[in-house]
Structure formats: C-alpha cells, structure tokens
Structure 1
Amino acid sequence: MDIKTAAALHRLRLASIPEAISFPALLIFGTGFRLAFGYDALVMPLGLIHGVLFITYVVLLLDLWNRTKWPFKRVAFFFVLAIVPFGGLYGDRVLRREEEAGVIAARARKEGVVNA
C-alpha cells in the first residue's frame, strides 16, 4: 500500500466515527427536542452538521475506492454502514484492521521479508 492510499484509508477512518455518531446523536436528539417542546430551531443546524459529515464520508469513500480499486460490493458495504446508526463504528474497526495490515506489509517489504 502506497502512502497516498494509506492516507486515504486513514482519512476515511477519521470521518467514519463522527459520521456514525452524528445520525443518532444529532438528528434523533433534534427531532425528539422538536416533538417534545415544539422547538424547530435545532433541527436545521443539527441536520446540516450531519449532512456535511455524511457527504464528507461519501467523498472520502469514493476517493479510497478510486485508489484501492475495491470491488463495488465492498464499497456498497461501507456506504450502507454510513446509513445504519452506529454502523460507522463497525466500519472503523474493519478499516483499522485493513490499515494495520497495510502498515505491516509495507514494513515487511522495506525489511526485505516479502518480495512483493
């Protein structure tokens, strides 16, 4: 894994956690606040924050797909994880394992252990 691919993978990991938490925390809180108190002013800014985080996640996912040439099925899996509440937390675990495997493989190539 080259450095740009590793950086794209790390960026997607960093974006997955706030995106995963933003859906249930912000949108459900804002909607519950609106229903309980009839106060609509929180829904729009909280929805905007979640929307920006979601779009950032999708753009970073597409960038990673472009660099890694993953199959469509794998990219669709990570997209679905972004839609499911707290799904990005599982996606972060999967991406962390992928990132660690890439670092280990790069170190092995550098030390001459693997000829690939």
Structure 2
Amino acid sequence: MKLMDTSVKTFKIVSTLEAISFLILLGIAVPLKHFWQMPEMVSVVGMIHGILFIAYIIMAYIMKEKLNWSWGTLAIVMICSVLPFGPFYAERKYL
C-alpha cells in the first residue's frame, strides 16, 4: 500500500508541475518570443515542459496499472495533458 501511495503522490506532483509549465509556456514564454523578440524563455521552459510531459504520460500509464483504470480513463487523462488546466482536472477527477 505504501508503494501505491508514493506513486500517486509522485504522479500528482508531476501532473501539477506539467500543468504549470504548460501554462508558463503558453502564457509567458510564447508572448515574450512573439511580441518582444525574446525566444530564450521558450527554449528553457519548452525543454522543462517536454520532460515533464513525457514523465506525465509514462506515469499515467503506471497509474493505469496500479489503480486499474480502464483504457478510456487513461485516454482521458492523456488528453488532459495537452489541454491548459487539463492535468488539474485529471488529478482531481481520477486520483
């Protein structure tokens, strides 16, 4: 039971960080690049977000196995990863 609790907590952390990095990318880094010709932040935040996105997808599959999610639930959780605020919804609804 301890392992499952740790896995769920870790997924919640990754989910939150992935969502925040996506919002920073869309809300701060991209406008800086396009309106103020400052592309550096997109490179940095984009890399961080990419790593967190991959971690989110891998951990979502691990959660499917541990929590006995259906393939439909896994699909919804994965779709949430590409929507602004989506990971927050998935975290509240399925964990």
**Under TM normalisation by the shorter chain, which class is it?**
0.7 to 0.9
Root mean square deviation, CA, Å: 1.6
- The TM-score normalised by the length of structure 2 is 0.85
Percent of aligned pairs with the same amino acid = 25
The one-letter amino acid paired with 1:94 is K
Distance in 2 between residues matched to 1:8 and 1:61, nearest whole Å: 10
Distance in 1 between residues matched to 2:35 and 2:70, nearest whole Å: 45
Q: Which has the higher contact order (CA 8 A, sep 6+)?
A: 1
1:65 CA displacement: 1.6
1:41 CA displacement: 1.7
- In structure 1, stretches of 5+ residues that fail to align are 99-116
The one-letter amino acid paired with 2:6 is A
User: How many residue pairs get matched?
Assistant: 95
CA contact (8 A) 1:27 1:50 kept: no
CA contact (8 A) 2:16 2:87 kept: yes
Following superposition of structure 1 onto structure 2, how do residues 35-50 of structure 1 map, counting pairs within 5 Å? 35-50=34-49
CA contact (8 A) 2:24 2:45 kept: no
- DSSP 3-state at the match of 1:88: helix
Q: Based on CA coordinates, which of the two structures has the bigger radius of gyration?
A: 1
CA contact (8 A) 1:27 1:43 kept: no
- In structure 2, stretches of 5+ residues that fail to align are none
1:32 CA displacement: 0.4
Runs of 4+ residues deviating >3 angstroms: none
